[in-house]
Amino acid sequence: MSDLCDDYSGPFDPDWTLEQLSRAGLARLCREYQMLSMFHDRAWMPHVAAVGGMDASVVMADGEWMGSSPIYTRRNLANVGARGDTVASIFKGIQLDIGGPDHFLDFRFEVVSDDEGFFWTEFCGPHDHLRRLTGNDAATVSMMCHDMEDRTFDATFGATNPKARCEPVFRPPRPDEFTGHHCRWRLFIDHDAVQAPPANPSLAFMETTVAATFAIPLGDAGEPGGLTDYSGPLLEWFRLEEFSHPFLVRQAREYALDDHLLMRAACWTAERHWGAEFLASTVPQHRAAFAPGLTTRLRDALAIHGEGIEAVAKMIQVDPVHVPGYTAFRVDLDGDDAIVTLDDCAALHDDPRSPLAPLTATPSTPGFEHMAEAINPRARVEIVDPPAGAVARWRVFIDSAAEPAAPHPFADMVNLHDITTFDLRARPETPVVLGRNP
């Protein structure tokens, strides 16, 4: 492969794949796909809080993260060849975790020995957001940084070593005008521990899904250079730009699947605690609320300009909710229309409680219409007859006479505090120290 691009600013290509991006473009897109986890929670939690208050938000956080992070942590470490159960191996899992998008959570690491280390955040986007959103309300900040993190950290780190334990050196709440790191943690292996902390019931369900074991193969190199795996020493200053082209292609697909696992665990948890009707109502609203912000970020990262049908078609191609490979979408242009075809795929044989449920449950509103409307609010989607062998097909078009679609009421709240503009371009090649320990 030659003539790789840093973005998707050229003409629409019905055969476009991630392999056509350069290493630099893929590294940036990986971080954008990680950020979907942040959009997801901001769009989902208001619905949960509305039915069960703040306590319900903790129940949801436990269910979604404890049900997905052990699975995708093992997947990530196996994919990149990071073997072992030491503190350094656990730190590699943190570096690859969708729950800590590179830069948006600026993790730093210190390995003391195989059994002990420290990690901290020079900057923490979720803490910064919640602090500003609530006026640094101590109870709300503690809910996220204590009630949610204590159990979810145990579940994530325990996937690499069941005897791993984590304790705060300090963490929020922090003073209004604090200086230094947002939090600092000691990670250690407790060899005397008898058993791991209890798992959330969501994990047992998630381990039965097709998504949990869906394999993403490593492809051919389209560009020379970079580390082909992560079997070597911990990179304390972690940059995806250091890795090879096939590594990054697979990692982008893996991040999309990891986001899917997180959202799928959220769906199962929502139905278990608040019922099938709540889940069916929330899934389409969830997608509608985060679509504008996610679209803004992807347009910027991939230089997808304009409001025409080509921009709409490109956005459907790059939408991480569709999890390339796990689903089988094809997008073509036919005059002024984009034609979206869904073929048989692994997603259609998985448990139906999923962010992809609208594709078959309510095909007239398949979900991706929200991404199209974020490109052009007069974009419309209608079902058309699929060709032989296909499962479904849709026509996407711009109706110049239509009333512009209104954004979801939660969209502005989801996009607060720079989540759509936070700089996810490459970090410098050497560390930048932003804070000091108190």
Give residue limits of the domains in the chain.
274-414
Q: What pLDDT is stored for residue 146 in this prediction?
A: 93
> How far is the CA of 166 from the CAs of 59, 89, 93, in angstroms?
21, 14, 14
Q: CA-CA distance, 299 to 296, in Å (whole number)?
A: 5
Task: Write the single-letter amino acid at 53.
Answer: G
| Nearest Cα residue to 99 out of 45, 171, 39, 180 | 39
To 10 degrees, what angle do helices 309-318 and 276-302 make?
Answer: 110
Q: CA-CA distance, 221 to 53, in Å (whole number)?
A: 49
What SS3 state is found at 21? Answer: strand
Q: CA-CA distance, 349 to 334, in Å (whole number)?
A: 30
Q: At 274, list the tokens.
A: 């608040």
> pLDDT digit of tens for each residue in the chain (438 aa)?
458 999 999 999 999 999 999 999 999 999 999 999 999 999 999 999 999 999 999 999 999 999 999 999 999 999 999 999 999 999 999 999 999 999 999 999 999 999 999 999 999 999 999 999 999 999 999 999 999 898 999 999 999 999 999 999 999 999 988 888 999 999 999 999 988 889 999 999 999 999 999 999 999 999 999 999 999 999 999 999 999 999 999 999 999 999 999 999 999 999 999 999 999 999 999 999 999 999 999 999 999 999 999 999 999 999 999 999 999 999 999 999 999 999 999 999 999 999 999 999 999 999 999 999 999 999 999 999 999 999 999 999 999 999 999 999 999 999 999 999 999 999 988 886 654 433
Q: At 330, list the tokens.
A: 């094809």
Q: What pLDDT is stored for residue 1 in this prediction?
A: 44
Chain centre to alpha carbon of residue 180: 27
Q: What pLDDT is stored for residue 436 in this prediction?
A: 42
Task: Write the single-letter amino acid at 279.
Answer: L
| Nearest Cα residue to 59 out of 257, 271, 211, 277 | 271
Q: What pLDDT is stored for residue 27 in this prediction?
A: 98
Q: CA-CA distance, 41 to 44, in Å (whole number)?
A: 5
Q: How many residues does the chain have?
A: 438
β-sheet bridge partners, residue 5: 21
Let me know: does 79 contact 96? Beta carbons within 8 Å.
no
Alpha-carbon Rg for the chain, nearest whole angstrom, is 21
| DSSP assigned state of 196 | P
Q: At 269, list the tokens.
A: 């948890």
Q: What pLDDT is stored for residue 433 in this prediction?
A: 62
To 10 degrees, what angle do helices 23-79 and 276-302 make?
Answer: 140
| DSSP assigned state of 143 | I
Task: Write the single-letter amino acid at 351.
Answer: D
